[in-house]
Structure 1
Amino acid sequence: MNLKLQQVSAIKSGALQITGSKSETNRLLILQALYPNIKIENVSNSDDSVLMQRALASTDETVDIHHAGTAMRFLTAYFALKEGRKTTLTGSKRMQERPIKILVDALQQLGCDIQYEKEEGYPPINILGTKPEANKVELQANVSSQYISALMLMASSLPNGLEIALKGKVTSVPYINMTLSLLEDVGIKGAFKDNVITIPENKNDIDNTIVVESDWSSASYFYSIVALSQNAEITLGSYKKRSYQGDSSLATIYKNLGVETVFGDHTVTLKKNNITNYEALHGLDLSNSPDIAQTIAVTCFGLGISCYLTGLHTLKIKETDRLEALKTEIEKLGGEVEITEDSLRLAASNRMEKDILIGTYHDHRMAMAFAPLALRTSLSIEDADVVSKSYPDFWRDLEKLGFALG
């Protein structure tokens, strides 16, 4: 379904409840599968989390996780260590193009039995669950943190725990720290020091209730809306000032783009500040929060300022090649973008075309990142339902704020 967004001159102030973090929810769902007395509140209603729940409950030999990248990584480790279970783990056409070799190699180091069904290094994979005695594994540090977190989540269920040695410069540190923090919240100790993560075996019963913080990646689109507005004020729940999510850096980044963040009791209120001359965002390293890169680039385009974003190498293996997709769609609107393997440079420009159809490439973040531009121009979003992957209520929430959708 394509969705038309009429240009709006102003939006309403309002309060919205954002669904729980997909990243936190999916980690906790794995831990709940290992320790069934864990209770989770404010569970994400995203497609990815629904697919994760279905997969964990399934007794079928073939498990299809469609587009859910987090589920693919976490379930690879989960099923590999589910002793005696045979599982074929597969996904969509795009998922079968996304690499899994680094994680499979690490699990095979431990003694896990995993075979590729088609192309080596990519799903589908055939898994025979084992309970290995080995407790040390080594992998490159500059890979997706989901590979590392997949191992961390299973570590306490191994007979001797697990030591994960990371080689090189670690990227996406906040996601590793998020996993450590959630482990600690449920009662599992771990340490991350000198590029080595150590998590001992857990022999204790776990009976905790964990409340998932709302998703900061989803909040990014409202930061963009406020930045592009004249005087909007939007309150979002439920958030913490001391967040586990790396994307909470939005509060600092968007201060330079005209948005003040005010923390309340489990809320954040976004207010337009009085900046009139915006400074270009040059050399902004997003290696710890790559999921907000699309939103930031589109915001800067909407404000007519330049930006240079780095640390984006993981964007090329997401739902689409997000760097190529950003370049294509911003240039359709009249912008000028240069990309490398890990960076994006946007030139300052006041040009913006009308009534352009924005391609989403089966990527939820493309749809949501471009939607705030309706404050500057009319546009259409291709395959608008793709937002259900992480934020099913997105278009409904935009209507509450006064966006004209048709």
Structure 2
Amino acid sequence: MEQRDARTTAAGKPGRNLSIAPTTLLRGEPSFPSSKYYTLRYLLAATLAEGESQILFPALSEDSEALFRGCRALGAQLDWLGEPGERLQVRGVGRPRAAGAVLINVGNAGAVLRLLLGVSAWLPQVTFVTDQPQSLGRRPNRELLQALESLGVRVEAQGPEGYLPITLYGGQPHGGRVVVSGARSSQYVSALLFLAPLLAEPLTIEVVDSLTSQVMVELTLKVLRQAGIVIEHDAALRRFRVPAPQAYRAGAYVVPGDYPSAAALLAACAAMADPASELRLGRLPAGEEDGEALVAALLAMGCDLQREGETLCVRGGRPLHGLELDGSRIIDCIPVLVALACFAEGRSVFYNVENLHYKESDRINDLCAELQRAGCRVTPLPDAIVVEGQPEGVEGGVWVDGHSDHRLLQALTIVGMRSRRGLSLRGVEHIAKSFPHFFSELQRLGAVVSPALSW
């Protein structure tokens, strides 16, 4: 993997700030995004199929826009049937193709980057860039890039960890055997699984070290099966054999609601002091691995949470207690669960979460630093977060920084609503990565959110 010096600086655009006032009551039926995990995988499968596919209720966010740009760059045609967010028609291309060099701006979307890196190995030259050098620009891709090199792709990247911008010189990747570490990201494995069916030869993928966020690989396998792809694998998801060549099948896909986005609303309501607080969230089907793990975690904390078909109903004003939780299966929900645990009785430990260090921010150290500033008793560890709950609430009354991370913004908002003096939140524009209307939706449900004009 060739290296180049990276000297890109942040664009320096002014951020937006909001004041989160103390809140005791939330009520309503909130609107929240569709699953970005499913949207990404369904759209990629549709792009790699020849013919027309339709995707109902795809997620709309900055990550989605990055995905749409990427799929168009691979040769797909995307058209909305009706209003944006309702039905997306995709005319796929089969194997990605381009006449010349391709440039793709992936914004701040790490999963979009990694999955596109895999299938873009068929392009003769493709360069991935970001307009968020201080966030996605600092996330490592080394293990995936090394795996692609072993399949015959030449790679140029920034530094030994494989930072953006990244250029692939591909066109003729081959099969065989590839070894990849899953310790830092399961997205590396998913990227290879999407690429493998298009190869001329079978591919064996061996996962070494641990496999973090295994549930995301399970989701990838589910979508690939729906697209007609056959993959053999062991029970532990450490060894895969993908027969080749195979053809992706065009189809119709329905995207469910997004459990991590729902987690922020569920945790916010559970943190409320008024027992009249109640939220009902639909389009959350049972049986989803991350959804079941989230529900189990909330129930273990004592939340008043009930399921009615695809609807989850949560009520606030109930006493909460700490828990010990293996966070690897719901890694994107951990920040808001940590925020909720700040108001539970006793100690909570969220462990097996080392890869939180490698997200849009360092979601262990950055989150704990901001929570401590607000008055929470949290301790960051290399692979865990320890919380000493304060059911009486925290003081607040300070500025906190979202570190350009939508998940931190959600967690800090929950703490601000439960604090005695509220919080002033810096950089709220980054909520658009996954949940653009998060703050306006909280206002509609009863929160008091207003502009904060000074830092």
Q: Same fold (TM over 0.5)?
A: yes
* 1:347 match: 388
Question: Could you say what secondary structure the match of 1:51 adopts?
Answer: helix
- In 1: Cα distance, 2:119 partner to 2:405 partner: 26
* 1:310 match: 351
Asked if residue 358 in structure 1 is aligned to residue 400 in structure 2, the reply is yes
Cα displacement string for residues 339-387 of structure 1 (whole angstroms, at most 9, x for unaligned residues): 2211111223346123222210000011111212314431122111211
Indicate how the Cα distance of structure 1 residues 303 and 280 shifts in structure 2: closer, same or farther if over 3 A, else same.
Answer: closer
- In 2: Cα distance, 1:400 partner to 1:161 partner: 53
- In 1: Cα distance, 2:242 partner to 2:259 partner: 27
Indicate how the Cα distance of structure 1 residues 370 and 50 shifts in structure 2: closer, same or farther if over 3 A, else same.
Answer: same
* 1:256 match: 300
* 1:66 match: 107
Structure 1 stretch 254-263 or stretch 93-102: which is displaced more? 254-263
1:31 to 45, 60, 74: 45
* 1:130 match: 171
Amino acid at match of 1:8: T
Asked if residue 8 in structure 1 is aligned to residue 29 in structure 2, the reply is no
Question: Displacement of 1:304 after TM fit?
Answer: 5.2
Question: Displacement of 1:117 after TM fit?
Answer: 5.4
Is residue 28–residue 182 contact of structure 1 (8 Å, CA) maintained in 2? yes
* 1:288 match: 329
Asked if residue 149 in structure 1 is aligned to residue 190 in structure 2, the reply is yes
Question: Could you say what secondary structure the match of 1:127 adopts?
Answer: strand
Amino acid at match of 2:37: S
Question: Could you say what secondary structure the match of 1:148 adopts?
Answer: helix
Asked if residue 93 in structure 1 is aligned to residue 133 in structure 2, the reply is yes
Structure 1 stretch 14-23 or stretch 196-205: which is displaced more? 196-205
* 1:330 match: 371
* 2:216 match: 175
Amino acid at match of 2:413: A
* 1:387 match: 431
1:233 to 256, 278, 281: 278
2:411 to 369, 394, 401: 369
1:22 to 36, 48, 53: 36
Question: Displacement of 1:104 after TM fit?
Answer: 0.4
Is residue 302–residue 376 contact of structure 1 (8 Å, CA) maintained in 2? no
* 2:242 match: 199
TM-score, with structure 1 as normaliser: 0.92
Structure 1 stretch 228-237 or stretch 143-152: which is displaced more? 228-237
- In 1: Cα distance, 2:410 partner to 2:382 partner: 23
Is residue 4–residue 380 contact of structure 1 (8 Å, CA) maintained in 2? yes
% identical equivalent positions: 24
* 2:94 match: none
Q: Determine which structure has the larger strand proportion and give its number.
A: 2
- In 1: Cα distance, 2:297 partner to 2:354 partner: 20
* 1:48 match: 63
- In 2: Cα distance, 1:275 partner to 1:39 partner: 43
Is residue 118–residue 124 contact of structure 1 (8 Å, CA) maintained in 2? no
- In 1: Cα distance, 2:369 partner to 2:106 partner: 28
- In 2: Cα distance, 1:331 partner to 1:117 partner: 34
Is residue 63–residue 88 contact of structure 1 (8 Å, CA) maintained in 2? yes
- In 2: Cα distance, 1:97 partner to 1:168 partner: 22
4+ residue stretches of structure 1 with deviation over 4 A? 117-120
Question: Displacement of 1:310 after TM fit?
Answer: 0.5
* 2:88 match: none
Is residue 342–residue 377 contact of structure 2 (8 Å, CA) maintained in 1? no
Count of residue pairs the alignment pairs up: 399
Indicate how the Cα distance of structure 1 residues 170 and 223 shifts in structure 2: closer, same or farther if over 3 A, else same.
Answer: same
Question: Displacement of 1:228 after TM fit?
Answer: 1.1
Question: Could you say what secondary structure the match of 2:168 adopts?
Answer: strand
Indicate how the Cα distance of structure 1 residues 205 and 21 shifts in structure 2: closer, same or farther if over 3 A, else same.
Answer: closer
Indicate how the Cα distance of structure 1 residues 270 and 187 shifts in structure 2: closer, same or farther if over 3 A, else same.
Answer: farther
Amino acid at match of 1:380: S
- In 1: Cα distance, 2:296 partner to 2:233 partner: 26
Is residue 281–residue 308 contact of structure 1 (8 Å, CA) maintained in 2? yes
Is residue 235–residue 269 contact of structure 1 (8 Å, CA) maintained in 2? yes
Is residue 251–residue 260 contact of structure 1 (8 Å, CA) maintained in 2? no
Is residue 188–residue 202 contact of structure 1 (8 Å, CA) maintained in 2? no
Amino acid at match of 2:303: V
- In 2: Cα distance, 1:261 partner to 1:208 partner: 35
- In 2: Cα distance, 1:247 partner to 1:191 partner: 25
- In 1: Cα distance, 2:438 partner to 2:388 partner: 29
